Amino acid sequence: MTIVILLYLFLFIFLESVMTKTELVKSLMQKTESDKKTIENVLSALDETILNECRTGGKVPLMSIGSISIKDRAARVARNPATGESVQVPAKRIPKFTFSKAFKDQVL
């Protein structure tokens, strides 16, 4: 559930509250009239699908919430603030979440 946790983090930053996984499952159970096992299976499948797509460099749209993608950061030279020494920072891939305009307009 790595991606789901990432979404919780972003929502916490913007909404200053966090829905727990249990609360999310209960809410989805009520809205879809499904049982707990089905909801948990759907969330696991969603998590796996998002991770697989991001591993291959794809972008995953999440309905009207936004999209998750992977961003490549180039190698660079940084400076150690304590010593002033130059340090080589290697290239890396980082997860990126972009909120949709519709989400921002409704929430912020």
Round the average pLDDT of the chain to a whole number and report it. Answer: 85
The fold of the 2-107 domain, in CATH, is: HU Protein; Chain A (4.10.520)
DSSP secondary structure code for residue 74 in this structure:
P
Mean pLDDT within 24-46: 90
Nearest to 10 by CA among 95, 106, 102: 95
Q: How many CB atoms lie within 10 A of CB 25?
A: 19
DSSP string, 10-29: HHHHHHS----HHHHHHHHH
Residue 5 has pLDDT above 70, yes or no: no
H or E element, residue 67: strand 66-73
Phi/psi of residue 68, nearest 5 degrees:
-115, 135
- Residue 24 vs residue 78, higher pLDDT: 78
pTM: 0.66
Percent of residues, the chain, with pLDDT higher than 90: 39
Taking the domains of the chain in order of start, what are their residue ranges?
A: 2-107
pLDDT band at 1; cut points 50, 70, 90: very low
